[in-house]
């Protein structure tokens, strides 16, 4: 039996993030990958130069076309860019009763460029977070959602609880942006309990697409019927290996190696 996963996200022409990264991850996990493109970005290892949103009607139709023909075992969202696209995705999830929903909270790029319009953030919080099964914000994104500063692990836990109250079933706050000596701690909050995942800090600039990779790996695991916590653990270990085996692709921030497990 071939399991199938859908990614709804932006296209990264440089291949390190977005739709391109998600489909690589699905393939690495032996999952059949499908896509609905929400934005066309212009970027390379030096950063995002521009982005052009796809119209919400087209975003909806892409999801509809797949959902009416192919069983979607799990799906994820990444960059949605506009409020209209947020609403289109919300409506599609409801209309086609899609399950196993992973949200990669794409709000800004590494160079600070907004990838979700400022006026769309509130709609994203109200519409998307309440219907997702797993959400994976980093520190900056968790602060954007909660409106509160995060300075330590306790703050991460409080933010995870607050985000879960919005409706997310499982919250994974990634600790890569939190200064810690030689390690990274991710905080999972699921069904009233905390799980902390600790990994060695990898000193590399090649981290383009880390969030996309992690969330896509969770999606692939859920598509295969793996339970939520185990899916997150497997995805985190896979992402760690992809960082440790990262690739220098250009003059700036390189990409993760999505196929490190098959080398």
What does the pLDDT look like over 160-212, one tens digit per residue? Answer: 999 999 999 999 999 988 877 789 999 999 999 999 999 999 999 999 999 99
pLDDT band at 6 (very low <50, low <70, confident <90, very high): very high
Q: Which of 24, 211, 221, 228 is catalytic?
A: 211
What pLDDT shows up at residue 5? 99
Q: What is the mean pLDDT of residues 54-80?
A: 98
Instruction: Check whether 55 has a pLDDT greater than 90.
Output: yes
Q: Which of 33, 132, 174, 239 is catalytic?
A: 174
Q: What is the mean pLDDT of residues 216-236?
A: 99
Above pLDDT 90, what percent of the chain? Answer: 89
Lowest mean pLDDT segment, chosen from 52-61, 137-146, 254-263: 254-263
Tell me the CA distances in angstroms from 154 to 9, 151, 166, 250, one per residue in order: 31, 8, 19, 38
Q: Which of 7, 207, 219, 228 is catalytic?
A: 207
Residue 71 falls in the annotated catalytic set: no
Q: How is domain 4-245 classified at the architecture level of CATH?
A: 3-Layer(aba) Sandwich (3.40)
Instruction: Check whether 113 has a pLDDT greater than 90.
Output: no
* End-to-end C-alpha distance for the chain, whole angstroms: 25
The domains of the chain are located at: 4-245
Q: Which of 7, 210, 219, 228 is catalytic?
A: 210
Cβ atoms of 145 and 108 within 8 Å: the answer is: no
Q: Which of 15, 176, 209, 254 is catalytic?
A: 209
Q: What is the mean pLDDT of residues 7-35?
A: 98
Residue 210 falls in the annotated catalytic set: yes
Instruction: Check whether 109 has a pLDDT greater than 90.
Output: no
Residue 30 falls in the annotated catalytic set: no
Q: What is the mean pLDDT of residues 24-48?
A: 97
Lowest mean pLDDT segment, chosen from 103-117, 147-161, 176-190: 103-117
The pLDDT mean for the chain works out to 95
């Amino acid at each position: 039996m071939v399991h199938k996963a859908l990614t709804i996200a932006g296209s990264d022409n440089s291949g390190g993030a977005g739709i391109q990264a998600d489909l690589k991850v699905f393939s690495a996990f032996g999952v059949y990958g499908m896509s609905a493109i929400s934005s066309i970005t212009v970027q390379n290892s030096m950063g995002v130069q521009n982005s052009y949103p796809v119209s919400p009607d087209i975003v909806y139709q892409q999801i509809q076309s797949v959902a009416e023909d192919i069983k979607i075992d799990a799906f994820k969202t990444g960059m949605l860019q506009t409020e209209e696209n947020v609403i289109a995705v919300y409506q599609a999830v409801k209309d086609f009763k899609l399950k196993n929903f992973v949200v990669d909270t794409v709000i800004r790029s590494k160079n600070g460029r907004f990838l979700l319009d400022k006026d769309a953030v509130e709609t994203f919080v109200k519409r998307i977070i309440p219907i997702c099964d797993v959400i994976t914000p980093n520190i900056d994104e968790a602060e954007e959602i909660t409106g509160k500063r995060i300075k330590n692990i306790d703050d991460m836990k409080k933010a995870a609880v607050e985000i879960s109250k919005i409706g997310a079933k499982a919250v994974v706050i990634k600790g890569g942006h939190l200064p810690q000596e030689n390690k990274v701690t991710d905080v999972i909050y699921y069904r009233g309990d905390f799980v902390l995942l600790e990994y060695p800090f990898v000193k590399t600039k090649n981290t383009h697409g880390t969030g996309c990779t992690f969330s896509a790996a969770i999606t692939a695991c859920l598509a295969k019927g793996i339970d939520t916590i185990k899916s997150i653990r497997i995805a985190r270990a896979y992402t760690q290996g992809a960082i440790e085996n990262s690739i220098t692709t250009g003059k700036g921030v390189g990409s993760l190696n999505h196929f490190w497990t098959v080398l």
